Chains A and B, each alone.
Chain A
């Protein structure tokens, strides 16, 4: 097995298994540790400029990636006219830059605000580094190896799908430029640290809020004691 096979055919399964199993274990055994770990209380002005652009930029780029994976034919159709291809690519790069700007603000904030430093763990640094590499290589790919949304459907999508089919074909990755490979590897690193860091808060995005009732009342005894339910109507009010 070549190094390439190991990295792109074995590692993805290892990190995915790690991500899923450890996340489940963490939720079951140490759910208290699952939190967004917000530090807004300690510093809010820089957070405003950093957090919003970082989170929205990344989320939208992620949605783009997922869409490409789910409906590559849609992308091919859309990219049929060059103008639309430029529009899509330009949007992608803009969002990436937005996220990058946010990340830079957040890194500065973490390293210069004494209160925020107090709540910064080594794992936070690891997370920021991985995401930094991820954004950097993503932007590099988008700019230096144009047009990703076009060739991606032919190379990346089949590769990821082969992984999901459990018949990995790392051959797709082989000929790709170095930075693209790093982009893929950084994602594996992201998955590997996911369950051990604050990244788990991603899957707790509270979408159930949209449908739940406003109020929540919980009783330790939800059933009324039987003797009251079967009580004879005439006995009402006797105490």
Chain B
């Protein structure tokens, strides 16, 4: 057992309101620069939809992630090592700018400087790359809230396997349904971006698992962009270097939540330490699809297990971190309560950001179907529990996103969430817990105590409940041995010069 620690984020999709505050916070902090305008290290996609860059889940096209070959071995989908070098002069699997969008701004000055005339002056759109006037054909979140859904939602790959009749229903205006999928880099355990980088410029930090691009070593071969199945590495066309979400490590090192999580209006994001067994990375990645999800979740170790604690100490993880791992809200959702999954585990990068699938639309469909009226009040909640197949957002769809097409785990989570709601309603509205409610909880392996815990962490968590950061002990890191005066007046992060584009 080789224990390593990972900072993980959990997204409670049920609570996301699609406000994009997270994306804007991230952009203001990190990517408001030449060459990075089109980068959305954090983005929020309307689902169903094709996401950003468009169609990123289509690995036949983009060749991201890992695959299991017919001998059961794990192979990078993009290239062999020789192929990676040979394709240095042209990378056939790179998304084009059109798959993102041509970044634009508006010539606001025209509004003030236009000469007196008969018409109102307008601010015309100009390309942020060429500076020339342009026609805007697409942009970030062009399909927000299902805008243009005949193009975007209709081409969503995760709709495969969803019954035709259900799909047809989803397009009827009164049944239309969507939810939001916030995405950042998954800081994977078996990152395909690292494996695809010919220069060896990308690495995973041992102490917290953050995956970073060493900007000094990056030579702009762009293989990481293609290799990442989540398309979360971006190529900066100005500096000629690749960039990606850094999980705001400078903030975490000083005990603050990453900008996206800190600013989240829906308070949907949780962060905490996860311990995992690094020895299993390759074996788990090579398992057949139907064993993949469970095995991946099993790599996450119990921070209360004495053996794990001993192994973690041997691996140099200090007690502060073990303590944080025991208090991790992410661990509770993912392991203790089994309520969250990684996004697209079939990409085999062993993603370490987790999602609690959304429930809300399920409620409304049952109400829309007027089932509510046919039932005596006391049966209502239990009926919902059995009617998940009628959910407006099809279970198959969520299963394609999170559980490699298996609807059972999704059902279990949605039932758990429904049960907690029912339990709280009985408790706070009726003031009593009837046998039927207790029975329902027991069926789902829940006790009133556990249900209460889930309820609290879901609905009324404080900042400190949501974000549990261990001290980073930077004072013990190697770079502290260097001369701090050298970096005085510099840019931070170890640069002695501004990041200018080379000639």
Contacts and interface: CB of A to CB of B under 8 A. Distances in A.
A238 to B, nearest CB: 8
Contacts of A206: 84-85, 88, 198-200, 219, 221
B89 interface: yes
Contact of A220 (B95, B314, B477): B477
A200 B503 CA distance: 10
A74 interface: no
A209 B84 contact: yes
B432 to A, nearest CB: 41
Nearest to B86: A56
A214 B79 CA distance: 12
Q: Choose among A52, A118, A198 the residue with the greatest number of B CB atoms under 10 Å from its CB.
A: A118
B497 A237 contact: no
Contacts of A39: 237
Contacts of A219: 205-207, 316
A192 to B, nearest CB: 14
A221 B129 contact: no
Interface residues of A, number: 61
Interface residues of B, number: 74
Contacts of B500: 32-33
A218 B478 contact: no
Interface string A1-40: 0000000000000000000000000000111111111111
A201 B237 CA distance: 16
B190 A36 contact: no
B198 to A, nearest CB: 4
B453 to A, nearest CB: 22
B200 A35 contact: no
Nearest to B241: A35
Interface stretch (B148-156, B290-298, B303-311): B303-311
Q: Which of A33, A35, A36, A37 has the most CB of B within 10 A?
A: A35
A212 interface: yes
B495 interface: yes
Interface in B192-232: 194-195, 197-200, 202-207, 215-222
Interface string B470-503: 0000001111000000000000000111011111
B318 interface: yes
Contact of A237 (B91, B129, B306, B496): B306
Contact of B237 (A41, A114, A236): A41
B502 A33 contact: yes
Contacts of A111: none
Interface in B281-337: 281, 306-307, 309-310, 313-316, 318-319, 322-323
Contacts of A165: none
Contacts of A231: 313
Interface of B: 4, 76, 81-82, 84-85, 88-92, 94-97, 127, 129-132, 190-191, 194-195, 197-200, 202-207, 215-222, 235, 237-241, 278, 281, 306-307, 309-310, 313-316, 318-319, 322-323, 476-479, 495-497, 499-503
19 contacts: A29-B496, A32-B502, A36-B88, A37-B240, A37-B501, A44-B94, A54-B89, A117-B130, A118-B130, A206-B200, A206-B219, A209-B198, A210-B81, A210-B85, A215-B195, A221-B477, A236-B310, A239-B309, A239-B322
Across the A-B interface, the 3 shortest Cβ-Cβ residue pairs: A237-B306, A219-B206, A33-B502
